[in-house]
Amino acid sequence: MKNLLLVFLLTFTTVFSPAEKYYVTFIKGKVILSRTKSPVKVGDALNPDDKLIFGDKTSKISCISPGKGRFDITAQTAKIDSKGELLAVLKANLVPASGTHHLSTRSIMSEGNTPETYFSSSETEDRILLIENEPLAIKPSYKLDNSNFFFVQYTADNTTITRKIEHSQNGLIFSNKLFSTESGPIKDQVILCYQSNANGEAKSSIIAKFYPILVSKEMLVQQIELIKMASDSNDKKKQKAEIVNHLFENYGKISSEELTRVFGI
Amino acid sequence: MKTWIKWLISFLHAFVLFVLTVFWVNTDYSYGDERMLIQWSSILKRVVLQIDEDPPKKDFLFINLAYDKALIPLKDALGNEVITDRAKLAQFFTILKKHQKLVRFTICDVFLKGVSENDSLLKNSVKGINDIVFPTHFDDDSKVEKLDIEVPNAIADYSRASEGFLKFKLFQDDNKPTIPVYMYEKLEKRAFSYTEDWHWDNNKPSLNSIIIDYQIRSHELFEQGEYPVVSLSDLLILPDEIIASDFLANRIIVMGDFNSDIHETVFGPTPGTLILLNVYLTLKSGYHLITWYWIIFLIVAYTAFSRLMLFPKDDDVKVKNIKWLGPLLVSATYLSVLSVCSYFFFNIHIQVLILTLYINLIRYIIRLRQAEWSKNQFKTWVIELRESYFNEK
């Protein structure tokens, strides 16, 4: 009888013990949760058996679990399924994010944004919020100097306009002149291109297509302060969520890192 | 000499060896031979034989602060210095304080020197947390440095007894505890005292220099992912309730920069915070205590050793040359085996080199009476000595 009870208890605890949860803390690119058919969001709790569909090869999510720590799941490890989608089952693709550590000290600067993913957003239909004259860090694999640079191309007044994006050592600088013509600020889609120069041979490539929404920092600061004042909650996370919603709906996508860096939220 | 007298002398001599052993074990010094022995026996015990049991992973949460940095202006010069982001620390400790009854202990290996605009925020968030400790250090004048933010603190000078964290001094000035001692006293409800020139743990004699038992090793954290390691920024993204219930409840929270604060150990490069945690785990296992079992083990082993070395079988026979190389190797081997056994059962290594030299010197003096001394004999002996030690022919 005792043995039967033991077997029952073991079976019960095995079957009904709560599965490890994986909380999403970072998303790069577009990642769909197969179970809900909706994009994965920061803060979502995933199960080990959840299937993820990655938008492209550069997509990635990071998650933390109470029992296992931090993990990265990238599209690199995903397999192409019968529909041609990059599919990964969570538990089979968990790679410890702290796999390597360096003895030397590392720069505390951010590694920079990946332009292919930063300048695209399904949530805002590719409207990207850019802060006027605030440098946007780009990952170092994109060299920035006189021969290697980003430029935008768009059509206005039946003319194709090409303009080089200014840069500093901190990243790309978006000014008013970049997206203005004689008839005023442009409203159409622009093409972001990168020109590289290797061994004296210049080569351009299209990086992304997006709708630029250029806003001054001062204007955004005023709006952020207003939202904070009007907010019912004192919880900073909730306030940040309200601000992000406002910016995404009324302007365009901006990364959480940029919000923290520029506005300290 | 009667056999029982030989055994009696050996038994009494065992106490001399025991006192020498305790003296050397408790000092800061160690030697190359000791390091090699400790390294290989540790690897044998923990990696090859795997007779150690890892502490449960559900008991710990490691928070890596390597990516949560901020800049503050240098105090007495132009430029900035990098510190851990105190605003984020304050945000975390505010959550922790709210749920502190759930948390077993927090070790935050962040040296709070230098002034930042978030200091008062951090101070207020830590104020009221009972089971937490921050590190402090000795300054150049051997005085404990006063932190710029008032928080509970203990010594974290990894003042090591030898190269590569072979030994760790629990009390470095005989008064102020180190972080592992502080944790041990708080978590295990123990109390250290220092009387009669000795350290006592709940009135039990304790060593002050201990060999660290690496129960959680660096590769188990970062390569094998056996214990949860998260970054502070990742954690703070989650709602407070989830942080408290899923990540903090019933755990020891270990916070530090696991990327830059790295030190060489017998198990390879290891974060300083993990070394401190392993010292605490060594204390928790009671490996610092001098037990009756260890004393009896050593006295028995030393009695046999003394009998073998001091009273060999042919000790009544006159000899022309006193052999020294064979006995030296035998004694070194015996003590090495004894040291490994002592480590396996009690986690205390004994000093091989010093005891080997001592016992062979005593043995040589005793054997002198057996030598048939003559002028030629003495001349031969001096020539051998010169060739052996000064390499002159």
What's the complex ipTM? Answer: 0.71
Q: Give residue-wise pLDDT tens across range A153-200.
A: 988 888 888 899 998 878 899 988 888 888 888 888 899 998 887 767
Residue B135 bridge partners (DSSP): B154
C-alpha distance from A48 to closest chain B C-alpha (Å): 16
Q: What phi-psi label fits residue B203: left (phi over 0), alpha (psi between -120 and 50 degrees) or beta?
A: left
Give the pLDDT of residue B33: 64
Asked whether residue A69 is domain-assigned, the answer is yes
Q: What's the pLDDT tens digit per position in B6-43?
A: 899 999 999 999 999 988 888 766 666 667 777 777 77
Nearest CA to CA, how far is A92 from chain B (Å)? Answer: 15
For residues B336 and B303, the answer to whether their CB atoms sit within 8 Å is no
Q: Do B229 and A70 touch (CB under 8 A)?
A: yes
Cα torsion B175, B176, B181, B182: sign: positive
Alpha-carbon distance A154 to A163, whole Å? Answer: 9
Q: What is the pLDDT of residue B304?
A: 92
A87 and A135 fall within a common domain: no
Structure tokens given for A5: 């009870």
Q: Model confidence at B131, in pLDDT bands (50, 70, 90)?
A: very high
The whole-number average pLDDT for the span B274-293 is: 92
- CA distance to partner chain B, nearest, from residue A260 (Å): 12
- Measure the CA–CA gap between A108 and A106, rounded to whole angstroms: 6
Q: pLDDT band at residue A32, thresholds of 50, 70 and 90?
A: confident
Q: How many domains does chain A have?
A: 2
**Burial of residue B316, with CB atoms counted within 10 A of its CB: 0-12 exposed, 13-18 middle, 19 or more buried:** exposed
Q: Which residue of A has its CA nearest to B251?
A: A66
pLDDT tens digits for B146-204? 888 999 999 887 655 445 556 788 887 757 789 999 999 999 999 998 887 888 999 89
Least confident of A13-22, B8-17, B241-250: A13-22
Indicate yes or no: CB of B222 within 8 angstroms of CB of A62.
no
The reply to whether A188 and A82 lie within a common domain is no
**What pLDDT sits at residue B108?**
94
Taking an 8 Å cut-off on Cβ atoms, the answer to whether A106 and B237 are in contact is no
CA atoms A69, A75, A80, A84: torsion sign? positive
CB B31 within 8 A of CB B223: no
A196 in the same domain as A86: no
| Structural domain boundaries enclosing A45 | 18-96
Say if residues A221 and A263 touch (Cβ distance below 8 Å).
yes
Token look-up 């806003």 returns A215
Considering only CB atoms, A67 lies closest to which of B69, B228, B262, namely B228
Distance from CA of A37 to the nearest CA of B (A): 22
CA distance B259 to chain A (A): 6
Three-state DSSP class for residue B183 = helix
* Residue A81 to chain B, least CA–CA distance (Å): 29
**Interface of chain B toward chain A, CB-CB under 8 angstroms:** 57-58, 61-62, 64, 66, 69, 71, 82, 91, 221-225, 227-231, 233-235, 237-239, 242, 246-247, 258-260, 262, 269
Residue of A42, A64, A91 for testing the chain B interface, max B β-carbons within 10 Å: A64
B246, closest residue in chain A (CA to CA): A66
The DSSP element (H or E) to which B241 belongs, if any, is helix B240-242
A190-213: b (≥16 Cβ within 10 Å) or e: bbbbbeeeeeeeeeeeebbebbbb
Two tokens at A238?
């909730």
The pLDDT value given to residue A73:
82
The pLDDT assigned to B326 comes to 76
A and B: number of Cβ contacts within 8 A: 73
Tokens of A61: 């999510």
Task: State the Cα–Cα distance between residues B313 and B304, nearest whole angstrom.
Answer: 13
Contacts of A64 in chain B (CB under 8 A): 228, 230, 234-235, 238, 247
Share of chain B above pLDDT 70, in %: 87
What are the φ and ψ backbone dihedral angles of A95, each rounded to 5 degrees?
Answer: -120, 120
Query: How far is Cα A35 from Cα B317, in angstroms, rounded to an integer?
Result: 90
Name chain A contacts of B62, Cβ cutoff 8 Å. Answer: 69
Q: Where are the domains of chain B?
A: 32-284
Contact call for residues B115 and B72 (beta carbons, < 8 A): yes
In this prediction, residues A63-86 reach a mean pLDDT of 76
Of the spans A40-49, A238-247, B295-304, which averages the highest pLDDT? Answer: B295-304
Q: Which of B234, B236, B261, B255 is nearest to B82 (CA)?
A: B261
| Nearby residues of A196 by Cβ (< 8 Å), 6 or more positions away | A143, A147, A148, A202, A203, A204, A205
Q: At what angle do helices B325-346 and B352-368 cross, to 10 degrees?
A: 140
Domain annotation covers residue A92: yes
A23 and B238 within 8 Å at the Cβ level: the answer is yes
Any domain includes A6: no
pLDDT tens digits, one per residue of B42-68: 777 766 776 777 899 899 999 999 888
Last residue of a domain, one of A69, A96, A123: A96
Which residues 141-170 in chain A show a CB within 8 A of chain B? none
Q: Which of B258, B259, B160, B262 is nearest to B210 (CA)?
A: B160
Give the bridge partners for B73, in sequence order.
Answer: B80
Instruction: Give B229's contacts in chain A (Cβ within 8 Å).
Output: 69-70, 96, 98
Q: Tell me what pLDDT residue A85 has.
A: 66
- Residues in a beta bridge with B265: B268
Note the pLDDT of residue B315.
Answer: 62
Reference B160, options B266, B23, B45, B294; nearest CA is B266
* Residues B99-110, mean pLDDT to the nearest whole number: 94
Q: Which amino acid is at B154?
A: A
In chain B, whose CA is at the least distance from the CA of A18? B246
Most confident region among A80-84, A241-245, B112-116, B291-295 by mean pLDDT: B291-295
Q: 3-state DSSP call for residue B184?
A: helix
B221: nearest CA partner in chain A: A98
Same-domain pairing of A184 and A213: yes
Judged by a CB distance cut-off of 8 A, whether residue A98 touches chain B is: yes
